[in-house]
Amino acid sequence: MLQRVLEPEVMDSLEEAQDYDSMDHAEVNRRFVDHLLECRSSSELESGRPVLVLDVGTGTAQIPIELAGRGVAVRITAIDLAAEMLKLGQINVERAGLTDRIALELVDAKSLPYADGCFDWVISNSIIHHIPKPLFSLGEMLRVLAPGGLLFVRDLLRPVDLPTLIDLVQTYAGTANAHQRQMFDDSLHAALSLDEIQEMLTTLGYPPSWVSQTTDRHWTIRGRKRQRS
């Protein structure tokens, strides 16, 4: 297994934000939302009120826009620590006409300024690998999640060796520019293994079976927080 090599926690230059936003994430985002919506409970479908969603590490708000555009009753708080990402995200949300359903906030995922149990869903796509000690962020996500609420987190899976990493970069970023390819390479190096995520869930008191490998380059956590006894 490749050793984890950390990358900068915050992608906060204009170039990084623009290069990230211009990459073709459409299919990945569609699948993320498809799989998220498969996890809805009957009570959430029948409640008649919007589901309160926290999107951790929203980047340029592509996933909140995809989710809100599905005709689902949601109110999304979308957070990131990169101001340049959020600037582009706000433009994207306004362009999509979704400012009444998506609120963007500059927030550190390691210390969420929200009350315990205030969100029905906590979701995240490709933020964990940016965080040097992601155990604390996962703990924060679970803290603000309501009892019975859904945790849905997807991120990159660190390849077993360098040839596999090189193949993944060529397959999924081969036509991107040099900076975009390097960002993907760095992210794969910084990603966690399945064993590492399972150990974190166990430490937090949740079953390691919540996480599984879901593509050749992703793992996904799907689980519902325990109800209060």
* Residue-wise pLDDT tens digits, 56-89: 999 999 999 999 999 899 999 999 999 999 999 9
Could you state, in order of their start, the residue ranges of all structural domains in the chain?
23-157+192-224
Residue 128: count of CB within 10 angstroms of its CB: 27
Q: pLDDT digit string (tens) for 4-56?
A: 999 877 666 666 666 665 666 788 999 999 999 999 998 887 788 999 999 99
| Domain 23-157+192-224 in CATH 2.40.10.340 | no
Is the pLDDT at 142 greater than 70, yes or no? yes
Q: What is the mean pLDDT of residues 108-117?
A: 96
Summarize the chain as % helix, strand, coil (round to 5).
45, 20, 35
Alpha carbon distance 49, 68 (integer Å):
14
Residue 75 has a pLDDT of 97
Q: What is the mean pLDDT of residues 150-154?
A: 98
Q: pLDDT digit string (tens) for 158-214?
A: 999 999 999 999 999 999 899 889 989 999 999 999 999 999 999 999 999 999 999
Residue 53 has a pLDDT of 98
Residue 179 has a pLDDT of 87
Residue 187 has a pLDDT of 94
Q: pLDDT digit string (tens) for 94-104?
A: 999 999 999 99
Dump strand ranges (E) for the chain.
51-56, 74-80, 102-106, 119-125, 145-156, 211-213, 218-224
Q: What is the mean pLDDT of residues 118-135?
A: 96
Residue 154: count of CB within 10 angstroms of its CB: 25
